[in-house]
Amino acid sequence: METESGIQAWLPVALSPSATALMLLGVILSTSIFADAVARRTRLPRISLLVMVGVVVAVIQQLVLEVPEPRPLDGLGEPLIHVALVMVAFLLGGELTLDRLRSTGALILIVSLSVIGVGALAVGIGLLALGFPLVVAVSLAAISVATDPAAVQETVHASGDSRLRARLLLGIVAIDDGWGIVVFGLAMAVLGWLLSGAGGGERALLEAGWELGGALLLGAAVGLPAAWLTGRLRPGEPTQVEALALILLLAGLSEWLGVSSLLAAMITGTLVANLSTHHTRSFNEIEHIEWPFLVFFFVLSGASVDLYHLDEAFGLTLAYILLRLAGRYLGGMLGVRLARERQADLPQNLGLALTPQAGVAMGMALLAAEQFPAYGTLLLSAVVGSTVIFEILGPVLVKRVLR
């Protein structure tokens, strides 16, 4: 029998991977209680605290225990993160009701297009001016469009703010990832066309079209029957089982079909919110069980940082962070000025509230690294490093804009 090393040598029985995972899940949930207590006393957003806990986990795992791969729960972390994002997207889709779109729809469109347009141009042109390669500049410009809806939604809900600026932020993050998918797909198509000929560009364009169009089809295929069935399968209000079934179906089917799970979940949420006239409680059921999954999402996002490669892209990461912040600020200012009839109700720094960035950006970086392997390590290091900063700084900026 091999001699066990480390802490397991002191235990009377072997520590199995499943036992380790279960204990780590318990520890992660326990940290959320600690984060709540600290947040109440310091006014720091609990999301930022949870991401910082994740970074501490990464430091212990990679630098102290010398485990090279940043996978704190092995194969369990990715499904948890995926389910949390689908829950958030479903709830954000529920914000896009016809009544709300009639009152703020044009404003959402104006501000969101202004923020993503100015923001992407600021990042792309800025990185090119600083001498970074075309692939890196265009890829990061497209990735910069994505926003983390979980961080924005949680901070807005925790604030209890129901003013126009809060409703506008929820509406924008509900469609931001849709814009992000479109912009990223087009950017990859253009780069593929320039660097590998027409075949590479056509392939990238087809993949982006399927990711977007397939998500619309999946959202409708799940959302239409769900809008009629939910709440009717048994008398009374919908159960948590029905709500969880929707989320898991969306998460699993979207991964299997290779379409955007966030866009599919937003379409489903929008259909359920607008067509389920017989009740309004599906979203309440999701909200009751959402927070534990969000805790896993924020902690595991911080714990997924690869500390060994951060120094390789320090200059690029710093430039990307500063340019994205500048682009968001200027884009928000332009959007507020364009929306003249509502300008008095909106702060000039509205774009800074759209700073958080997480899972979608990492997914885009992985796709870009796969398509352009020569720049893969550089892109991944910059996106992961900046994501930690944006997840810590972002909720603070959201609170500042709401104040």
3-state SS string for 336-372: HHHCHHHHHHCCCCHHHHHCCCCHHHHHHHHHHHHHC
Distance of CA 155 to the CA centre of its chain: 14
How far is Cα 345 from Cα 333, in angstroms, rounded to an integer?
13
- pLDDT computed for residue 322 by the predictor: 92
CB 62 within 8 A of CB 307: yes
Residue 47 has which token pair? 């999301």
> Within 13 A of 164's CA, how many CA atoms are on the CB side?
16
Which of 345, 392, 356, 403 has its CA nearest to residue 161?
A: 403
Instruction: Assign residue 362 the CATH number of its domain.
Output: 1.20.1530.20
Q: Which domain covers residue 112, as residue numbers?
A: 45-61+76-402
Residue 31 lies in a domain: no
Number of domains in the chain: 1
Separation of first and last alpha carbons in the chain? 62
- Residue 13, classed as helix, strand or coil, is coil
Which of 167, 127, 143, 219 has its CA nearest to residue 345?
A: 167
Which of 49, 55, 5, 121 has its CA nearest to residue 300?
A: 55
How far is Cα 150 from Cα 88, in angstroms, rounded to an integer?
6
Neighbours of 26 (CB within 10 A): 10
How far is Cα 328 from Cα 352, in angstroms, rounded to an integer?
6
Residue 18 lies in a domain: no
Residue 256 lies in a domain: yes
Residue 218 lies in a domain: yes
Residue 34 lies in a domain: no
Amino acid type, 1: M
Give the pLDDT of the chain (403 residues) as one tens digit per residue.
444 445 455 555 566 667 777 777 888 888 878 877 887 777 666 777 777 787 787 777 777 766 666 566 666 767 877 787 788 778 777 767 777 666 666 777 788 888 888 888 999 999 888 888 888 888 888 888 888 777 777 777 777 666 777 777 877 776 776 677 677 767 776 777 677 655 555 666 677 678 778 888 998 998 888 877 765 555 545 567 777 888 888 888 988 888 877 778 888 888 887 877 655 555 666 667 777 887 887 787 777 666 776 666 788 888 999 999 999 889 888 887 877 655 556 777 777 888 887 667 776 776 677 777 778 778 877 887 787 788 778 888 888 877 7
Residue 4 lies in a domain: no
How far is Cα 147 from Cα 333, in angstroms, rounded to an integer?
18
- pLDDT computed for residue 3 by the predictor: 45
Residue 108 lies in a domain: yes
Residue 15 lies in a domain: no
